[in-house]
Homo-oligomer: A and B are copies of this chain.
Amino acid sequence: MQDSGFLPRLLEALGPDVVTTDAQAIAPWLSDWRGIYRGDAQAVVRPRNTDEVARCLALCQQWRVPVVPRGGNTGLCGGATPDDRPANVVLSLDRMNAIRSVDTIANTMVAEAGCILGNLRRAAHDADRQLPLSLAAEDSCQIGGNLATNAGGVNVVRYGMARELVLGLEAVLPDGEVFHGLRTLRKDNTGYDLKQLLIGSEGTLGVITAVALRLLPRTDQRAVVLAAVESPQQALQLFSLLYSRCGARLQAFEFFTGPCLDLVLTHAEGVQAPFADRHPAYVLVELADTTDEAGLNSLLEATIGDALEQGLCLDAAVSASLSQVEAMWKLREEISEAQRADGPHLKHDISLPIESIPVFMERMAARLRQLDAAIRPFVFGHFGDGNLHYNLSRPAGAPQDWATTHGEAVTAEVLDEVMRHGGSISAEHGIGQLKREYFHRYKDPLELRLMVGIKRLLDPAGIMNPGKLL
């Protein structure tokens, strides 16, 4: 603890309803949802408004107390879990969960940082608009965390990352000053775009307290195809054809290998093999549009027909109903859970220049064979964005703690190969604690230096989320 005077002051400023110091009550806030990271803290603070966030940060800065902002705790890199310093304060935004406005003229939504993403998506839908940020954790993650980590998900190929949806944001800087950037303007060329620094900064520069988001027209008409492909190369050609032909309708282009499907068929309930034959890999394509369901279906059928004719896929099943759409998506969505059921594994959220995916896949497979031919790769992801979840499971027969004992060596191989192709060691999950060492190893020294300079500018006392990212 920094000083015995801090906690009384914090309690005095915010009250016992906002500040929790009881060890038992704090315990659940000290680990991530996967149970991989665990830390310590002297208090959990759950402010009800921006002013309380500001008062908390001002005190923390004054007493040099480290602050760990926390959203829905769905991150995969330990970015919202405190480190082992007992002085930490966990600052949860969960009580700041009001939707301040949904505007269907301006097509904007203003929401507090603690709003659950799924609730915002539903609020937009109810207002005949769409918030297109969509990801597996959407019913527990919070929008503040989504922006702090620049979340991705399944619709990035059409709508971009979370960053692209942000019109403005409000944040509290480490000294307690409020950044009043909650503008809904579409155009505002007045100086450096400061909000961009906070987006993706993983809580190291300040605390996002509210956001102004763009809303898009709803795309209720959906058509999905599941296509079997013989290789990533073929998936690439199929992607190119669909991109040219279907234009803005292309809402998702997902990829998974045959072993991923096998795993889902083994572990998930209520799923069926989509084809009589097993295939090396699959892509799941979704087209979506505001209108004209018939046109959408016939466009997808015609395009896939041409793809089959041109030999750009081995087989294909086009959805004929919403339940088929959902059944196809379930095959993709159950992969993570099925892999969890299969046992501990190593996750690698990587991205590549999309045209490099085939050669990366080949070379990586060769490197893994050399390392240990029995490692079981389960590769899937947002292929249309060049984003693979290159996950590796324990070789059959290896000890249960394989991921722990071999993780570092294996991950080093994967990330080294990623960097050879000009890829990124973190596509959408961020750095947090998990990838910090690799981040420092691979990031350009000039960029690192600038980031450190920006960190010092915004957080001179260094209280914001220490041990994460930088």
Compute how far the CA of A243 lies from the CA of B173 in the bound complex, rounded to whole angstroms: 36
Tell whether, in the assembled complex, residue A470 and residue B191 are in contact, meaning their CB atoms are under 8 Å apart: yes
Known: A217-B248, A244-B217. A187 touches B290 (CB 8 A): no
Residues on B with beta carbons closer than 8 Å to the beta carbon of A21: none
Within 8 A of B (CB), among A161-193: 161, 163-164, 173, 177-181, 183-193
Tell whether, in the assembled complex, residue A106 and residue B185 are in contact, meaning their CB atoms are under 8 Å apart: no
Compute how far the CA of A292 lies from the CA of B291 in the bound complex, rounded to whole angstroms: 13
Report the nearest B residue to A77, measured CB to CB.
B189
Stretch from A8-16, A44-52, A196-204, A320-328 contacting the other chain: A196-204
A119 within 8 A of B: no
A424 within 8 A of B: yes
A431 within 8 A of B: yes
Tell whether, in the assembled complex, residue B243 and residue A107 are in contact, meaning their CB atoms are under 8 Å apart: yes
Residues on B with beta carbons closer than 8 Å to the beta carbon of A157: 186
Compute how far the CA of A245 lies from the CA of B220 in the bound complex, rounded to whole angstroms: 12
Compute how far the CA of A178 lies from the CA of B422 in the bound complex, rounded to whole angstroms: 17
Known: A185-B424, A189-B150, A387-B186. A247 touches B291 (CB 8 A): yes
Report the nearest B residue to A157, measured CB to CB.
B186
Residues on B with beta carbons closer than 8 Å to the beta carbon of A439: 190-191
Report the nearest B residue to A152, measured CB to CB.
B187
Q: Which of B243, B451, B454 contacts A454 (CB 8 A)?
A: B454
A429 within 8 A of B: yes
Residues on B with beta carbons closer than 8 Å to the beta carbon of A386: 106, 185-187
Report the nearest B residue to A447, measured CB to CB.
B194
Report the nearest B residue to A349, measured CB to CB.
B189
Tell whether, in the assembled complex, residue B353 and residue A385 are in contact, meaning their CB atoms are under 8 Å apart: no
Report the nearest B residue to A430, measured CB to CB.
B189
Compute how far the CA of A250 lies from the CA of B435 in the bound complex, rounded to whole angstroms: 41
Tell whether, in the assembled complex, residue A105 and residue B354 are in contact, meaning their CB atoms are under 8 Å apart: yes
Tell whether, in the assembled complex, residue B290 and residue A248 are in contact, meaning their CB atoms are under 8 Å apart: yes
A62 within 8 A of B: no
Tell whether, in the assembled complex, residue B186 and residue A351 are in contact, meaning their CB atoms are under 8 Å apart: yes
Within 8 A of B (CB), among A227-272: 236, 239-240, 243-250
Q: Which of B149, B190, B355, B457 contacts A189 (CB 8 A)?
A: B149
Q: Could you name 5 residue pairs across A and B whose Cβ atoms are closer than 8 Å?
A: A163-B193, A173-B446, A189-B426, A189-B431, A191-B443
